[in-house]
Amino acid sequence: MFGPVAAQRLEGGFLLALALYGFSQSGWSWWWFALLFLVPDVSMGGYLLNPAVGATAYNVGHTFFGPGLVMGWYLLGGPLSALAVGSIWLAHIGGDRLLGYGLKYGDDFSNTHLGVIGRGRSRGL
């Protein structure tokens, strides 16, 4: 059965592929892509304070709003760097969704909108 979680994973893969294409059009070196790809995960630092702050920080770094703004700036005449950075950010989020990492609820890191991840996972996809 092709349920909503599988659909969101497929969307994540599509966005990852689209972002890779966008980055390829920026003219930036792929070294920049490799160097900056994991930067959105810095937002997990909020979990050092507590799960609610961690979830909020993580979700800010892992929603499509941020890369959408950056790429929108490029489309409105912004620099190629906006395309590059927005594409890297979008690729990160798409890759996360493809792997099943969703937005977080404030109670626990493993509780996501795509289901429970990690050792507490109760069912497969």
Q: Which of 116, 96, 103 is nearest to 13 (CA)?
A: 96
For residue 117, being part of any structural domain is answered with no
Query: How many domains in the chain?
Result: 1
Could you tell me the residue range of the domain that residue 48 belongs to? 4-111
Q: What is the pLDDT of residues 4-22, one digit of tens each?
A: 889 999 999 999 999 999 9
Helix H or strand E encompassing 20: helix 4-24
Coil, strand or helix at 111:
strand
Least confident of 9-18, 60-69, 101-110: 101-110
Q: What is the pLDDT of residues 31-43, one digit of tens each?
A: 999 999 999 999 9
For residue 27, being part of any structural domain is answered with yes
For residue 125, being part of any structural domain is answered with no
For residue 18, being part of any structural domain is answered with yes
Q: Quote the pTM value.
A: 0.90
Joined tokens for residue 118 = 């990690």
For residue 124, being part of any structural domain is answered with no
| Residue type (1 letter), 49 | L
pLDDT for position 1: 66
Average pLDDT over residues 18-30: 97
Cβ distance 32 to 45 under 8 Å? no
For residue 122, being part of any structural domain is answered with no
For residue 121, being part of any structural domain is answered with no
